[in-house]
């Protein structure tokens, strides 16, 4: 008998992958990462024309006997403008080797990234945090508004983007979608200074968040810098904060937010508190008092994609969604 594989396209991913369910899945996954119950391979990147990067991100959820890889092109500017960013996540049964599903990777990536930030925010931000700053008003910025509003009583969202039109559009959307007060900001500083929680999702090569802007008790989710030569937060921000990581090996290797302060001799990897999964598991203290600044460095790891794809696959099986293909 031929094996069947469930093909799940982007529209179906969007239908099935709810934010709250994904946050719970990322909490479990991050705990498994820190407990040694998953395997992540180093991200392999192959440069392509027009600034595109072909990436292969393999991983295994050993506790669930699932293996797979995100295979995706991270788009350069031209690809972004043409809407040609695409990727897939093949999901295999680790025991039988069966190809269970092929899930759209682009639909997974944004939601699981925001959900991971929300999981860290639950562990580290003050319980009464009500003011959110979003630096970067694109799709990922909007997903972060949804995610953070799911875990903290957000009343005001301060939004800044290098494109003023994007800032205005994001604010209008946030007010309608979540009933918050959304404030368009002309500078990043204007957004950060009053914020209890700051999410950086700009992919900027130079810092857009300076440590001197952060108020006591603030929490930062540093998300957009995923190469050792680029960063969104400056050295002062790192040095002022207690720093938590998604996966130690990747965070200390792949993000300029941390690599550059180390190169400057201003910060040492030993100063990182540890992985957020240990905080979520109750093995490591998170926030110790109302006044300290915390920073979660989110590089994005393959097992997060795999776990989100597995969640989508289970829901698609239950609801008989997607397309079955026989090989």
Residue, of 219 and 86, whose pLDDT is higher: 219
Q: What is the mean pLDDT of the chain?
A: 94
Per-residue model confidence (pLDDT) at position 1? 43
Full-model pTM:
0.95
Q: Which of 2, 75, 97 is nearest to 326 (CA)?
A: 2
Taking 60 as the threshold, does the pLDDT of residue 2 lie above it? Answer: no
Domains of the chain plus CATH, in order, are 4-109+303-326 (3.30.1780.10), 126-301 (3.40.50.720)
**Rounded distance, CA 6 to CA 91, Å?**
10
DSSP-derived 3-state class of residue 80: helix
Torsions phi, psi for 56 (to 5 deg) = -125, 125
Q: What is the pLDDT of residues 185-239, one digit of tens each?
A: 999 999 999 999 999 999 799 999 999 999 999 999 999 988 889 999 999 999 9
**Rounded distance, CA 100 to CA 108, Å?**
17
Q: What is the pLDDT of residues 106-125, one digit of tens each?
A: 889 999 999 999 999 999 99
**Rounded distance, CA 306 to CA 59, Å?**
7
Per-residue model confidence (pLDDT) at position 85? 65
């Amino acid at each position: 008998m031929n094996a069947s594989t469930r093909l799940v396209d982007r529209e179906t991913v969007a239908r099935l992958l709810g934010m709250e369910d994904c946050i719970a899945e990322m909490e479990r996954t991050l705990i498994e990462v820190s407990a040694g119950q998953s395997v992540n391979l180093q991200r392999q990147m192959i440069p392509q024309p027009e600034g595109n990067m072909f990436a292969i991100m393999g991983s295994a959820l050993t506790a669930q006997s699932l293996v797979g890889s995100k295979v995706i092109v991270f788009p350069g500017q031209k690809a972004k403008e043409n809407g040609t960013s695409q990727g897939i996540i093949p999901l295999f049964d680790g025991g039988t080797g069966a190809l269970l599903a092929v899930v759209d990777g682009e639909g997974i990536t944004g939601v699981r990234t925001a959900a991971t930030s929300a999981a860290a925010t639950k562990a580290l931000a003050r319980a009464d945090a009500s003011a959110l700053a979003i630096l970067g008003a694109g799709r990922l910025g909007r997903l972060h508004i949804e995610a953070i509003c799911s875990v903290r009583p957000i009343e005001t969202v301060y939004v800044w983007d290098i494109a003023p039109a994007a800032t205005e559009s994001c604010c209008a959307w946030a007010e309608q979608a979540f009933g918050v007060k959304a404030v368009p900001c002309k500078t990043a500083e204007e957004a950060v200074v009053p914020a209890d929680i700051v999410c950086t999702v700009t992919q900027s090569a130079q810092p857009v968040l300076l440590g001197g802007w952060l108020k006591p008790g603030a929490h930062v989710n540093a998300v957009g810098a995923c190469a050792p030569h680029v960063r969104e937060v400056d050295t002062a921000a790192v040095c002022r904060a207690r720093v938590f990581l998604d996966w130690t090996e990747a965070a200390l290797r792949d993000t300029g937010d941390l690599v550059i302060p180390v190169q400057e001799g201003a910060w040492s990897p030993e100063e990182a508190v540890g992985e957020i999964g240990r905080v979520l598991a109750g093995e490591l203290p998170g926030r110790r008092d109302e006044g300290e600044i915390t920073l979660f460095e989110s590089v994005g790891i393959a097992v997060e994609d795999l776990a989100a794809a597995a969640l989508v696959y289970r829901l698609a099986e239950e609801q008989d969604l997607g397309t079955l293909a026989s090989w």
